[in-house]
Amino acid sequence: MAKIVGLSGSPRPEGNTDILVKEALKAAAALGLETEFVTLAGKDIQPCRACYGCREEGAQGKCAIDDDLPAIFERLKGADGIIIGSPVYFLSVTAQLKALFDRGLVLRYGKGRVKSRPGVRGGPEFLLTGKVGGAIAVAGSNGQQLTSLDILKWMIFQNMLVVGNGVDVGTNVSARGKGEVLKDKTALFHARSTGVRVAETVKALQRQ
């Protein structure tokens, strides 16, 4: 069965991002897909140290840093679709999610370095190639689109296929207090739309 992983980049458990990502996953599950929620809250995620160990021949997709991130990357590698949500922090993603993004360099060298190949750069050694991605961003007031675009840019750089939710580049909504987004029916609808869009695209690709 195809699988969608929803990743929340919020350090605040059960906050607005978690709620929206789970709502998107619920919609994907209703379409018959397996889903899994993954949070960065409380996880030890260190920033990239630029050792370039992941680019060395034989590294085979292994990062030199021993923390909670490799296990999270395993979840992403096992998914057919990935929905990433972040609270807006200074018009961008959280530090935890940015650390994951930078450490994602390792996902581009999972099968060693391919020195020459005709065609587009990034093939089977890019471990997220061809997975379907969607973005969710929630802010007190501003920066949702910029944040969704940060998420989608990372996905594009990983050779993923990105989708919106029918009305925007991602689910971009406003809420500040913990859990406040539960009162916003339109926000929850847009989150479900992201879940549906990712799930339907995964299913369409599997029919190919």
Ligand X SMILES: Cc1cc2nc3c(=O)[nH]c(=O)nc-3n(C[C@H](O)[C@H](O)[C@H](O)COP(=O)(O)O)c2cc1C
**DSSP-based three-state secondary structure for 73:** helix
Burial of 9 (0-12, 13-18, 19+ CB in 10 A): buried
Nearer to ligand X, 88 or 97 (CB): 88
Nearer to ligand X, 15 or 104 (CB): 15
| Residue 149 φ then ψ, to 5° | -65, -35
Closest approach of ligand X to the CB of residue 120, in Å? 35
Q: Is 12 in the site for ligand X (CB under 6 A)?
A: yes
Site string for ligand X, 71-90 (x = CB under 6 A): ----------------xxxx
DSSP line for 106-118:
GGGSBTB-----S
* Pairing assessment for the beta strands 161-162 and 171-174 based on DSSP bridges: unpaired
Distance of CA 204 to the CA centre of its chain: 20
Cβ contact 202:134 at 8 Å: no
Nearer to ligand X, 15 or 110 (CB): 15
Q: Is 183 in the site for ligand X (CB under 6 A)?
A: no
Q: Is 176 in the site for ligand X (CB under 6 A)?
A: yes
CB-nearest residue to ligand X: 15
| Nearest 10 degrees: Cα torsion 203, 206, 207, 208 | 130
Q: Is 17 in the site for ligand X (CB under 6 A)?
A: yes
SS3 content of the chain, % helix, strand, coil (to 5): 40, 20, 45
| Single residue of 28, 54, 138, 160 touching ligand X by CB under 6 A | 138
Q: Taking contact as CB under 6 A, which single stretch among the options 63-71, 114-122, 133-141, 193-201 is the one that binds ligand X? A: 133-141
Q: Is 13 in the site for ligand X (CB under 6 A)?
A: no
Q: Is 55 in the site for ligand X (CB under 6 A)?
A: no
Binding site for ligand X (CB under 6 A): 10, 12, 15-17, 87-91, 138-143, 175-176, 178
